[in-house]
Amino acid sequence: MLAGQQTLLSRTMHDIRYDAVHDEFLVTNPFAQAILVFRGGADGEEAPIRIIQGPNTQLQGTGAQAGGVDRLDVDPVHDEIVIPAGDRILVFPRTGNGDVSPLRVIQGPATTLHRAQAIAVDPVHNVIVAGTNRQYKNGYGALLIFNRTDTGNAKPRGIILGPKSEIGNLNQLVTYSPKGWIIAAQTGDSYGKSEPEGVFVGVWSVHDNGDVPPRWRLAGPRSTLKKPRGVALNPKEKELMIADMTLNAVLTFYFPEIF
Q: Which of residues 205-234 bind other proteins (CB under 8 A)?
A: 205, 207-224, 229-234
Asked whether position 169 contacts other proteins by CB under 8 A, the answer is: no
Q: Name beta bridge partners: 2.
A: 44
CA 110 centroid distance within chain: 22
CB of 224 to other proteins, least distance (A): 7
The CA distance from 188 to 75, in Å, is: 28
**Sole binder of other proteins in the list 34, 85, 119, 127 (CB under 8 A):** 34
Which range binds other proteins by CB under 8 A, 86-94, 100-108, 128-136, 238-246? 238-246
Which range binds other proteins by CB under 8 A, 75-83, 100-108, 126-134, 244-252? 244-252
Asked whether position 124 contacts other proteins by CB under 8 A, the answer is: no
Scan residues 54-113 and list those touching other proteins (CB under 8 A).
54-55, 57, 59-62, 66, 68, 71
Residue (95 or 216) nearer to other proteins, CB = 216
Asked whether position 15 contacts other proteins by CB under 8 A, the answer is: yes
**Sole binder of other proteins in the list 92, 176, 181, 255 (CB under 8 A):** 255
CB of 218 to other proteins, least distance (A): 4
Do residues 253 and 242 make contact, with C-beta atoms less than 8 angstroms apart?
yes
**Sole binder of other proteins in the list 93, 123, 180, 198 (CB under 8 A):** 180
Asked whether position 202 contacts other proteins by CB under 8 A, the answer is: yes
Asked whether position 123 contacts other proteins by CB under 8 A, the answer is: no
Asked whether position 146 contacts other proteins by CB under 8 A, the answer is: no
Do residues 158 and 133 make contact, with C-beta atoms less than 8 angstroms apart?
no
Compute the Cα dihedral for 256, 235, 146, 134 and give only its sign.
positive
Q: What are phi and psi of 8, to 5 degrees?
A: 65, 20
The CA distance from 140 to 142, in Å, is: 7
Q: Which amino acid is at 24?
A: E
Q: Name beta bridge partners: 172.
A: none
CB of 82 to other proteins, least distance (A): 15
Do residues 182 and 217 make contact, with C-beta atoms less than 8 angstroms apart?
no
Burial group, residue 2, by CB count within 10 angstroms (0-12, 13-18, 19+): middle
Residue (33 or 132) nearer to other proteins, CB = 33
Size of the site for other proteins (CB under 8 A): 96
CA 208 centroid distance within chain: 18
Residue (10 or 95) nearer to other proteins, CB = 10
The CA distance from 221 to 138, in Å, is: 29
